[in-house]
Amino acid sequence: MDIFEVEFPFHRPRRGPFPWKPGSRMMTCLAEFQSHLEADGMGRMLLNRVSVHKPGTYPERTFYTRTWVDPDGNEFGKPDLKITASYRFKRLCSGYGRLFRLSTQDHYYGLPAMKIPWLCSECVCDVDVEDDDATV
């Protein structure tokens, strides 16, 4: 059994004293009609690969379990056995697949660094919307 540890964004619901939830939330900047994904903290996703099987002519399958560790260090998640194609399991192990930013910082995470001139100036302080050479 192999254990893979992946950094993963977490957010807190805006209403009520609810616990951390894995993932990010959509934030909309009404001033410039733009939106982006935002997270409140970074936690971890723990993937425990149980076994790998190749059923005949079908794609290789990976059996695994998943647990979460929130930014406060609390571990949670169902102990259910999950099944997916091995290529998708490799994508899960590579991290969060969407561009997002932490609510306390101005730079982005989740995808390789790239030019993002379309982000609104209200959401990212160091990006000038008029400048086509702006980098994040």
Residue-averaged pLDDT of the chain: 79
Domain assignment present for 56: yes
Domain assignment present for 113: no
Ramachandran angles phi, psi of 90, nearest 5°: -65, -40
Which domain, by its residues, includes 67?
2-105
Domain assignment present for 111: no
Q: Which residue has the tokens 């571990």?
A: 75
Q: Contact 95/8 with Cβ under 8 angstroms? A: yes
Residue 119 reports pLDDT greater than 70: no
Domain assignment present for 112: no
Question: pLDDT tens, 26-61?
Answer: 887 776 677 888 888 999 999 999 999 999 999 999
- The tally of domains found in the chain comes to 1
Domain assignment present for 115: no
pTM of the model: 0.73
Domain assignment present for 123: no
Domain assignment present for 41: yes
Buried/exposed code over 58-80 (b: 16+ C-beta within 10 A; e: otherwise): eeebbebbbebbbbeeeeeeeee
Domain assignment present for 46: yes
Q: How far apart are CA 64 and CA 41, in angstroms?
A: 25
